[in-house]
Amino acid sequence: MFRQRRRISFDNSYRFPADDGFRNEIKYTLIPYEYLKFRDFCEGFMDFDKNAGERGSYKVKSYYFDTLHYQDYEEKLNGIYARQKYRIRTYGDSGYYRLEKKIKKGNMNKKVSGEICSKDADLLINGHTDITTGNENTDAIIHEMRMKGYRSSVYIEYIRQVFVIKEIDVRITFDTDISALFGRYGLGDAMPDPIPVFYEDETVLEIKYKDLLPIWLQKALYVIVPSEYSVSKYAESLKYILG
């Protein structure tokens, strides 16, 4: 139905408001019919992320951290308005790692991140927070983690397909094959097969935008996709594994 690509025209005189780093983020879980229909819609009206692989897809691997008593996990479950998450993220087998602090305020979020080499990433995953990388952002995040007592929590991987409308800063992602492992696994460790977290045929849809979501996209969501669901891959993975 949506296979024919249409190009949307935008008013080039529009200027974004001052950027404080925060973006709106809304999430949904989709059954196969909803996923295929909305993905077809995106293919017809949007572009693939040019930094991704074939058809805008790549594998995401994340090593999450939490406190001894799982403070971040509990805050998510309790719906705390302002919270944060810490993770090391890499894409496929790129060998490129970033340490990220994701800050959330309701549906708004932003990331502070810095590059980290594989050696330092492995040390951090294995509990060594007394390291200095020379990257200002990375070292500031490590200092916070050390002061708050963060440690390795869950490893999560999934396949992500990305669509963008760069003119109005809209990014749509479909995450499939989401699986996780609980415990401390270093970068060089032989890991067992991760455990599927969501139902085998479920997809997590995320929509990120800075200012306004176009009306035509809002209408497509209303017709194709069910109600917004505050889903967290980290919280769902830990809930599934810990029972």
What is the pLDDT, as a whole number, of residue 7? 47
Q: Using the 8-state DSSP alphabet, how is residue 69 labeled?
A: T
Extract the tokens encoding 231. Answer: 């889903």
* Three-state secondary-structure class, residue 54: helix
**Percent of the chain clearing pLDDT 70 (strictly above):** 91
pLDDT in tens, 62-102: 999 999 999 999 999 998 999 999 999 998 888 899 999 99
**Percent of the chain clearing pLDDT 90 (strictly above):** 59
What is the pLDDT, as a whole number, of residue 2? 46
pLDDT in tens, 53-66: 777 899 999 999 99
pLDDT at 16 over 60: no
Q: Which CATH number fits domain 23-242: 3.40.1280.10, 3.30.465.10, 3.20.20.140, 3.20.100.30?
A: 3.20.100.30
Mean pLDDT check: name the lowest of 1-5, 71-75, 214-218, 225-229: 1-5
What is the pLDDT, as a whole number, of residue 11? 52
Residue 191 phi/psi, 5-degree rounding, is -95, 145
pLDDT in tens, 108-147: 999 999 999 999 999 999 999 999 999 999 999 999 999 9
Domain ranges of the chain: 23-242
pLDDT in tens, 168-215: 889 999 999 999 988 777 787 777 888 888 876 889 999 999 888 889
Q: With the C-alpha atoms ordered 126, 140, 89, 36, is the resulting torsion angle positive or negative? A: positive
What is the pLDDT, as a whole number, of residue 10? 47
Spatial distance between the Cα atoms of 41 and 217, rounded to a whole number of angstroms: 9
Does the pTM surpass 0.85? The reply is: yes
Spatial distance between the Cα atoms of 143 and 86, rounded to a whole number of angstroms: 12
What is the pLDDT, as a whole number, of residue 238? 86
